[in-house]
Chain A
Amino acid sequence: MKKNAATKAKAVRKSRQERKFFWKGMLFASPWLIGFVCFTILPVCLAFYYSFTDYNLFNDPAWVGFKNYKELFQDQYVWLSLGNTMYIVILAPLIGMVVSLALAMLLNQKNVPGLPFFRTVFYLPSLVPVVASVMLLTWLLNGHYGLVNQILGFFGIEGPAWLTDPRYTKISLMIMDAWRCGGTMIIYLAALRSVPASLYEAAELDGATGWKKFFRITIPYISPTIEFNLIMSMIGSFQYFTQGMLLTGVSGNQVAGGPSNSLLFYCLYLYQNAFSFFKMGYACAMAVVLFIIIMIATMLARKISDRMVNYDVE
C-alpha cells in the first residue's frame, strides 16, 4: 500500500517534470513553429488552392477545377521551358562535378607549392554575386570585343556569338557556373583528404597505377560526397532562374526567353506568368508540378545512386 503511493507520487512527479519540459521545449522551438505555420504550411496549402483557381491578385480567386493543369499540358512554352531546364539539369551537375573534382585533385597532389594561394584563386569566383557575374559574363562573351573571342581570335578560331546564338546561350551559362564552382571544390578537397593514405599504399604494393587508383579507390571512397553534390546540384538546376532572368530581362506582357527563347527556363516562365501576366493560379499550378517533378527526380536519382554509391566508408 505504502509502496504503491510512493510509485504513484513518483509517476506524478515524473509527468509534471515531463510537462514542464514539454512547455519549455515548445517555448524554445516556438520561433520555428510559428515560422513553419506562417511561411511554409499556410503558403503551401494556399499554393495548392490557388492552383485550382483563376487568380490575378486583384480579384478574389475563382475556382476553376483542373483547368490550369489541363492548360499547362497543352502550353507549348511549358514544354519548351521544361526542355531548356532539363538541358541544364542533365549537363550542369556533371560539368560542375568534373571541373570541381579536377581542381580538387590538382590541389590534393603531394607538395603543391603555395596551396592556399591556388585554393583562394579557385574559390574567389564563387564569391562574385550572381548579378555581377552575369554582367561580367556578358562583357567577356561579347561577340566582337569580348575577351574570350579576342583570345580565340588570337589562335585563329572564330568564336561564336555566345549570348545571341541560341545554340550557345545555355553553354555560356554553364561555363559561368563552372567558373563559380569553388564551394563544391572545397567539399571535394575535404573528401579527398579523408581517403586514408594506407589504401593507396596497399594498392601501390599491388602494382596499381594512377588511373586505376583513381577509379578503384578514390571514386568509391568519395562516392557519398559525389552523390550529395550531384543531387543538390540537380535540385538547384530545376530551379534555374536568376541567370535566365538577368540575361532576358522583363518585357511587358510577352514571353521573354532570350534568343529564340533558348533561355526560357521553367522557373522563369513561372515567374513571368505570375508577375508579368498576373496569372497567379496558373503559376501556382506550375509550381506544384515543379514540386512533383523535383520529388520524383530526387527519388529516382537516389534509387539509381544507391546501387553505385559505396556507403561502407566511415
Chain B
Amino acid sequence: MKSAKNSKWKELMIYKGVRGKVTHVIGIIALVFLCLVFALPLYWMVCTALKYEVYCFTTPPQWFPNPIKWDNFLEIFQRMDLAKYIRNTLVTSLVPVVGTLLSCPMVAYSLTKIPWKGGKYLFPIILMTMMIPAQVTQIPMYATWSKLNMLNTFVPLVLPSFFGSTYYIYLFRQFMKSLPTSVMEAARIDGAGDFRILYNIVYPMCSSILTTVAVMVFIGGWNDYVGPLMYLQDSERYTLGIGLQMFKTAAQPEWTLLMAASTIFTLPLIVIFFFCQNAFLNGIQTTSGIK
C-alpha cells in the first residue's frame, strides 16, 4: 500500500519535473563549486604576484593583495634575464611552427593526393613510429648533436620540425583525405604543377587545420622543458622554463617574483587561447578521433 503511494508520489514528482529541477540545481551548484576550485590556483598565482613578500606569509592568508605591488613585474625583468628568456622561447616555439607548416602538409599531400603505391605503405609506418617513446631516441640524438658540435644551439630543438612530425602529418592526412580532388584535377589539366596545386589550392582549403596545428606546435614549443634542458646549458640560451627553474633553485624561493614570472610565462598562451578558441577545440577533438 505504502509502496504504491510512494510510487504515485514519485510519478507525480517526475510529472511536475520536481526531481529534474532538484538534480539540475544540485548540478549547477556542483559546477559553481568546482569552477571556484579550478580557478583558485590561477587566482592565487596572480594574487601572489601582486603582493609584497611579507604579506605572503600571513595566517589567515591575505585574499586580496593590499597594497598592490605592480613592481614585481618590473623587478623580475631585472633579477633574471627574462627578456632574453622570452626571446629564446619565442625562437624555439615559432621556428618549429614554420617548419611544421612547411613540411607536414607536403607529406600529407603525397599520402592522399598523389596516386602512388608508397602512400599505402608509408602511412602505417608513420603511425608505428608514434609508438616509440622519446626516451629511446633521446640519447643517440644527444650523442650525435654533440658530435656535430650543435649543443648549446637551437638547432637540435627546431631542425627536426622541418622534416615533419608524425603526429601532425597524421592530422593533415585525416583532413586532406576529405578534400575534393576535382579542383586539383582541373588545375592539373590547366597545367599547374603539384607544388602550385599544393600552395595555391590545398593550403587555402586547409586554413582551419593549419591554424590548429600552428597553435598546437607553438604551445608545444613554449611548454617544452625536456628539450631545452638537454640541449641548452649556457644561460645565454635558456628558455623561460629552464630560466624559471634555475631562478628557483638559485636562491631561497621568492614566491612573489616566481609567481610574477609564472604569470608572464602563462599569459601568452591564455591570450592565444582567447583569440583562437575554435582552433583549440577543433584540435583537441580531431586528435581524439571525434568529429
Could you tell me the distance between the alpha carbons of A1 and B31 in the complex, rounded to whole angstroms? 81
- A21-B115, A124-B273 as given contacts; A28 in contact with B40, CB under 8 Å: no
Chain B residues, CB < 8 A from A28: 106-107, 109-110, 114, 194, 198
Decide yes or no whether B119 CB sits under 8 A from chain A. Answer: yes
Chain A: interface secondary structure?
helix
Decide yes or no whether B174 CB sits under 8 A from chain A. Answer: no
Could you tell me the distance between the alpha carbons of A145 and B118 in the complex, rounded to whole angstroms? 61
Specify which of A24, A270, A283 is in contact with B116 (CB 8 Å cutoff).
Answer: A24
Count of CB-CB pairs between chains A and B under 8 Å: 251
Contact A229 B288 (CB under 8 A): yes
Contact B259 A139 (CB under 8 A): yes
Chain B residues, CB < 8 A from A242: 225-226
Specify which of B40, B111, B266, B284 is in contact with A128 (CB 8 Å cutoff).
Answer: B266
User: Which of A29, A136, A228, A229 has the most CB atoms of chain B within a 10 A radius of its CB?
Assistant: A29
Decide yes or no whether B126 CB sits under 8 A from chain A. Answer: yes
Contact B139 A287 (CB under 8 A): yes
Residues 158 to 209 of chain B near chain A (Cβ within 8 Å): 160, 162-166, 169, 194, 198
Size category of the binding interface on chain A: 35 or more
Interface string of B261-283 (1 = CB under 8 A from A): 01001100110010000001100
Q: Which of A2-10, A38-46, A68-76, A164-172 binds B?
A: A38-46
Question: Measured between C-beta atoms, what is the minimum distance from B277 to chain A in Å?
Answer: 8
Contact B42 A125 (CB under 8 A): yes
Interface string of A20-35 (1 = CB under 8 A from B): 0110111111011011
User: Which of A32, A42, A46, A290 has the most CB atoms of chain B within a 10 A radius of its CB?
Assistant: A32
Question: Measured between C-beta atoms, what is the minimum distance from A47 to chain B in Å?
Answer: 5
Residues 35 to 68 of chain A near chain B (Cβ within 8 Å): 35-36, 38-40, 42-44, 46-47, 50, 55, 57
Chain B residues, CB < 8 A from A26: 110, 116, 118
Residue of A with least CB distance to B47: A147
Q: Which of A89-97, A104-112, A301-309 binds B?
A: A104-112
Chain A residues, CB < 8 A from B132: 40, 44, 291
Decide yes or no whether A202 CB sits under 8 A from chain B. Answer: no
User: Which of A28, A136, A138, A235 has the most CB atoms of chain B within a 10 A radius of its CB?
Assistant: A28
Contact B136 A47 (CB under 8 A): yes
Contact B139 A47 (CB under 8 A): yes
Chain B residues, CB < 8 A from A40: 129, 132, 137
Residue of B with least CB distance to A61: B143
Contact B258 A135 (CB under 8 A): yes
Specify which of B117, B164, B290 is in contact with A32 (CB 8 Å cutoff).
Answer: B164
Question: Measured between C-beta atoms, what is the minimum distance from B265 to chain A in Å?
Answer: 5
Could you tell me the distance between the alpha carbons of A43 and B266 in the complex, rounded to whole angstroms? 34
Chain A residues, CB < 8 A from B107: 28-29, 31-32
Could you tell me the distance between the alpha carbons of A139 and B106 in the complex, rounded to whole angstroms? 46
Could you tell me the distance between the alpha carbons of A212 and B244 in the complex, rounded to whole angstroms? 49
Specify which of A31, A140, A153, A294 is in contact with B106 (CB 8 Å cutoff).
Answer: A31
Specify which of B44, B140, B270 is in contact with A47 (CB 8 Å cutoff).
Answer: B140
Size category of the binding interface on chain B: 35 or more
Could you tell me the distance between the alpha carbons of A40 and B141 in the complex, rounded to whole angstroms? 9
Could you tell me the distance between the alpha carbons of A303 and B13 in the complex, rounded to whole angstroms? 45
Contact A127 B288 (CB under 8 A): no
Chain B residues, CB < 8 A from A136: 41, 44-45, 259, 262
Decide yes or no whether B230 CB sits under 8 A from chain A. Answer: yes
Chain A residues, CB < 8 A from B118: 22, 25-26, 29
Decide yes or no whether A179 CB sits under 8 A from chain B. Answer: yes
Q: Which residues of A contact B (CB under 8 A)?
A: 18, 21-22, 24-29, 31-32, 34-36, 38-40, 42-44, 46-47, 50, 55, 57, 103, 106-107, 109-113, 118, 121-125, 127-132, 135-136, 138-140, 144-145, 147, 150, 153-154, 179, 183, 186-187, 190-191, 194, 210, 225, 228-229, 235, 238-239, 241-242, 245-246, 249, 267, 270, 274-275, 280, 283-284, 286-288, 290-291, 294-295, 298
A-B contact pairs, 29 of them (CB 8 A): A18-B116, A25-B116, A28-B107, A32-B126, A35-B160, A35-B164, A35-B165, A36-B125, A40-B137, A57-B143, A112-B27, A125-B41, A127-B266, A128-B266, A135-B262, A136-B41, A139-B258, A144-B57, A145-B56, A147-B61, A187-B290, A239-B135, A242-B225, A245-B225, A270-B135, A287-B136, A290-B133, A290-B136, A291-B132
